[in-house]
Every structure is written in C-alpha cells, then in structure tokens.
Amino acid sequence: QKEVEQDPGPLSVPEGAIVSLNCTYSNSAFQYFMWYRQYSRKGPELLMYTYSSGNKEDGRFTAQVDKSSKYISLFIRDSQPSDSATYLCAMSAEGNEKLTFGTGTRLTIIP
C-alpha cells in the first residue's frame, strides 16, 4: 500500500462547477499538508498549506484535513478553464524535510 493515495483521474467538469480533489494517507505522523498545482511542462506551484486538522480558505480554494480519517481534500469553487492542470497533494511529518506526494489528479475544466 502506498503511503499516499490519490485518484489520478482524469477528471473533467464544466466551467463554474465545484471541484473536489482528495487524498488518503496511511502515515499517522504526517502533520503538514500541501496542495500543488502543476501546469503541463511547468514546475509545481504551491496552492494551499495546512498544519494538522481543520479548514483553510484562500479565494476560490478551500483545503480540508481530517486527521482522524487520514483524508485531505481540496475544493475549487466557480471553476475556470485556467484551473485545468494536475493537482498534487503532498505531506510531511514534524521536522522531516521529505515530502511524500500523491500521484496527482489531472483536471480539465470544460468551457
């Protein structure tokens, strides 16, 4: 079993829809949770960063962490064609320099 599981998609939704992206993990030591957006042939861009459990909102993006279920989510409201990209979840344990990535979900927003 992988430490971090993420549905690779592809996921296609119409413009304006709410998008839900998810990751599950098995390592209970993970405390730091990140979502990266990666456009084709570009480097990953940090979207959201959350410590431990709870919600964090930034504009159209909301990140949720449920440590009891070992489940994290990223919600995108009012999705735009420019949101079309691969979304990677990543997480790390306290004091650990190493990030563990999910496989990434390819998202396409259809105009």
Partner 1 sequence: DTEVTQTPKHLVMGMTNKKSLKCEQHMGHRAMYWYKQKAKKPPELMFVYSYEKLSINESVPSRFSPECPNSSLLNLHLHALQPEDSALYLCASSTRQGAYNEQFFGPGTRLTVL
Within 3-32, which residues bind partner 1 (CB under 8 A)?
31-32
Closer residue to partner 1 (CB): 19 or 104: 104
43 binds partner 1 (CB under 8 A): yes
Among the listed residues 21, 23, 35, 44, the single contact to partner 1 using CB under 8 A = 44
Closer residue to partner 1 (CB): 17 or 67: 67
Among the listed residues 34, 47, 63, 109, the single contact to partner 1 using CB under 8 A = 34
* Encoded amino acid at 56, one letter: K
Closer residue to partner 1 (CB): 17 or 38: 38
Q: Which long-range contacts link 78-81 to residues 24+ away (Cβ below 8 Å)? A: 78/16, 78/18, 79/13, 79/15, 79/16, 79/17, 79/18, 79/19, 79/109, 80/15, 80/109, 81/15, 81/109, 81/110, 81/111
For partner 1, the binding residues (CB under 8 A) are 31-32, 34, 36, 41-46, 49, 88, 90, 92, 94-99, 101-104
